[in-house]
């Protein structure tokens, strides 16, 4: 009888151990293709989370927007349909209006200037606001410097007037294009190539690696290098998942996210060089803006709007003063 009871206790212990190590499968959304810096960084994050939690959390990365476009993915993260995602600051600003300041044109001098703020107290404030809206930031990624690229040559701001320019679904981007006397056309990222080919848009605006990786350079060969927006992206975990994690698990997710952010930034800089070489070799023409001040002056109403808003004034003043 005693041996039987010991066997029963052993069985219970084995079952408990099995339950404690049961795998939890998580889904990570990403708009970018395989091999892209963001995709590789998220894969690194997934691997580190698996190791740190001894295999409890298994993160499957869904790239190339296979689960839906970015606005849909934002809703999927909030509803718990996906657990982790990497978003540009545009869609996130719809959930947290204060984030919109990060999309303002000609705000940051370069990526180093941007990360001085995001890796510090300002980034902590943005992260706190995003968490309250359902997004836990575990890493700030580099969204790069965005410029315009068009089917026909563009060599001055006046050449953008009247053009149909694709933008992401963001109030700041839409208003920015209107202030350039052009027409904003909000389209999902995956639809931009077809829109350029079918003359639904004349131009688009994005960073150099995105321009190259999507093949947009094959249709829109004329790049007007304005670097008008230098913006971050964020690797986020849903609060639905975050609330289920214990203290050690949260630390593991945060550490993996911070490490992946540094990896992404390094891969990003290398990819910029490669993208420039590839697109130039394939016939893309680059015209760098000689004087951005006329474009900056046109953004006056946009800046005035955010300076008047107490939700964004302090953040804007902090960045401008640096």
Is 225:205 a contact under the CB 8 Å cutoff? no
Any idea which of 58-67, 233-242, 303-312 has the lowest mean pLDDT? 303-312
Of residues 169 and 191, the one with the higher pLDDT is: 191
pLDDT tens digits, one per residue of 271-315:
999 999 999 999 999 999 989 999 999 999 999 998 998 878 888
pLDDT tens digits, one per residue of 90-146:
778 777 877 888 889 999 989 999 999 999 988 999 999 999 999 999 999 999 999
Of residues 168 and 218, the one with the higher pLDDT is: 218
pLDDT of res. 142: 96
Residue 230: Cβ within 10 Å count: 23
Over residues 218-244, the mean pLDDT reads: 96
Is 138:257 a contact under the CB 8 Å cutoff? yes
pLDDT of res. 147: 97
Domains and CATH numbers, the chain: 2-320 (3.40.190.170)
pLDDT of res. 4: 56
pLDDT of res. 169: 81
CA 229 and chain centroid, separation: 13
Q: Give yes or no for residue 209 having a pLDDT over 50.
A: yes
Bridge partners, 237 (sequence order): 84, 136
Is 123:117 a contact under the CB 8 Å cutoff? yes
pTM of structure: 0.82
CA 18 and chain centroid, separation: 37
Over residues 167-175, the mean pLDDT reads: 89
Bridge partners, 167 (sequence order): 186
Q: Mean pLDDT score of the chain, rounded to an integer?
A: 91
Dihedral angle over CA of 109, 115, 120, 125, nearest 10: 80
List of residues 6+ apart from 82 with CB closer than 8 A = 27, 28, 29, 62, 67, 73, 76, 238
pLDDT of res. 90: 75
Q: Give yes or no for residue 5 having a pLDDT over 60.
A: no
Segments of 105-260 assigned E as strands: 135-150, 164-167, 183-186, 203-206, 222-238
């Amino acid at each position: 009888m005693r041996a039987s009871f010991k066997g029963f206790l052993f069985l219970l212990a084995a079952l408990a151990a099995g339950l404690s190590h049961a795998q939890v499968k998580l889904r990570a959304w990403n708009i970018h293709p395989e091999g892209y810096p963001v995709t590789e960084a998220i894969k690194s994050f997934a691997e580190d989370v698996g190791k740190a939690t001894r295999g409890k959390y298994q993160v499957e990365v869904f790239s190339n927007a296979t689960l839906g476009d970015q606005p849909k993915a934002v809703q999927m993260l909030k509803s718990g349909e996906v657990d982790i995602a990497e978003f540009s600051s545009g869609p996130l600003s719809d959930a947290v209006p204060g984030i919109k300041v990060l999309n303002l044109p000609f705000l940051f001098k370069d990526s180093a200037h941007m990360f001085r703020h995001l890796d510090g107290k300002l980034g902590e404030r943005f992260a706190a606001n995003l968490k309250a809206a359902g997004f836990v930031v575990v890493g700030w990624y580099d969204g790069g410097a965005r410029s315009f690229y068009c089917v026909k040559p563009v060599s001055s701001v006046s050449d953008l007037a009247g053009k149909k320019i694709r933008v992401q679904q963001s109030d700041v981007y839409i208003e920015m294009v209107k202030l350039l006397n052009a027409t904003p056309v909000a389209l999902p990222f995956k639809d931009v190539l077809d829109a350029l080919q079918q003359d639904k848009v004349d131009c688009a605006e994005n960073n150099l690696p995105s321009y190259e990786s999507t093949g947009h350079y094959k249709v829109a060969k004329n790049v007007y290098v304005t670097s008008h927006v230098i913006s971050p992206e964020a690797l986020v975990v849903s609060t639905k998942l975050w609330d289920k994690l214990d203290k050690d698990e949260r630390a593991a997710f945060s550490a993996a996210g911070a490490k992946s952010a540094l990896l992404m930034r390094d891969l990003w800089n290398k990819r910029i060089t490669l993208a420039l070489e590839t697109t130039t070799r394939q016939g893309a023409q680059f015209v760098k803006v000689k004087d951005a001040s006329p474009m900056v002056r046109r953004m006056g109403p946009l800046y005035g709007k955010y300076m008047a808003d107490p939700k964004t004034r302090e953040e804007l003043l902090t960045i401008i003063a640096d």
